[in-house]
Chains A and B, each alone.
Chain A
């Protein structure tokens, strides 16, 4: 069992539709990050959330950190083919040197 569980594991939608990816844990994190990874490349950071209840927006992407800092969600509005990729959440436990990654959600946006 992973410390951070992502759901769904795979999501296939049509261009223009909305989607939400979830990242859940029973542990509290001092911060949580979302990365996107494209085939053949390393992950790239999208956002970091640090405060319980925090909402951050990055164009059509909305990130939320749960009030208890145990979970997070990523919502994409009007998805485009360029949003296709593997989305990974990663959490930092209190005062640690390391990140723990979730298993990832593979998103496919069809034109």
Chain B
């Protein structure tokens, strides 16, 4: 299994509070991704990174920001959590972009009350 961890694994927070999710990899892969998974929607890309300090938006980036200061860590921040951001968040990594295999972390279940 690819070495990807996510923390926390579960979080309950209140509307309006900031939340940061962490993805850590030990594979030295260049690309890292943040997805959210909601019933009927599959996985939707929030943001991705193609190198240290290089990030770009995905299809559902509003309300989210990311940072990557080291190859191994990719942080996702909800600046002011809303109930619509209740979801399961997955981090993924790949050696290259596009059609390269993506390896997924175990997910973080976030509940915004």
Give residues of chain A (32-90) contacting chain B, Cβ–Cβ below 8 Å: 33, 40-45, 48, 50, 88, 90
Answer whether residue A15 sits at the interface, using C-beta atoms and an 8 A cutoff: no
Residue numbers in B under 8 Å from A96 (CB-CB)? 97-98
Please, how many angstroms separate the alpha-carbon atoms of A43 and B50 in the complex?
Answer: 21
Interface secondary structure of B, over-half rule: strand
Please, how many angstroms separate the alpha-carbon atoms of A35 and B92 in the complex?
Answer: 13
Contact B104 A97 (CB under 8 A): no
Instruction: Classify chain A: how many residues form its interface, as a range.
Output: 20 to 34
Q: Nearest Cβ distance between residue A1 and chain B, in whole angstroms?
A: 12
Give residues of chain A (1-51) contacting chain B, Cβ–Cβ below 8 Å: 2, 4, 6, 9, 30-31, 33, 40-45, 48, 50
Give residues of chain B (45-72) contacting chain A, Cβ–Cβ below 8 Å: 45, 48, 50, 56, 58-59
Contact A104 B104 (CB under 8 A): no
Residue numbers in A under 8 Å from B101 (CB-CB)? 33, 45, 48
Closest to A49 in B: B99
Assess A48 versus B99: contact at CB under 8 Å? Given A43-B43, A104-B42.
yes
Contact A98 B43 (CB under 8 A): no
Answer whether residue B13 sits at the interface, using C-beta atoms and an 8 A cutoff: no
Contact A92 B106 (CB under 8 A): no
Q: Nearest Cβ distance between residue A56 and chain B, in whole angstroms?
A: 14
Residue numbers in A under 8 Å from B106 (CB-CB)? 40-42
Measuring CB to CB, which residues of chain A are less than 8 angstroms from any residue of chain B?
2, 4, 6, 9, 30-31, 33, 40-45, 48, 50, 88, 90, 92, 95-104
List, sorted by A's number, 19 A–B pairs whose CB atoms are closer than 8 Å: A6-B42, A30-B98, A30-B99, A40-B106, A40-B107, A41-B107, A42-B105, A42-B107, A44-B104, A45-B103, A50-B99, A88-B42, A96-B98, A97-B50, A99-B102, A100-B59, A101-B42, A102-B42, A103-B41
Measuring CB to CB, which residues of chain B are less than 8 angstroms from any residue of chain A?
4, 31, 33, 35, 40-45, 48, 50, 56, 58-59, 90, 92, 97-99, 101-107
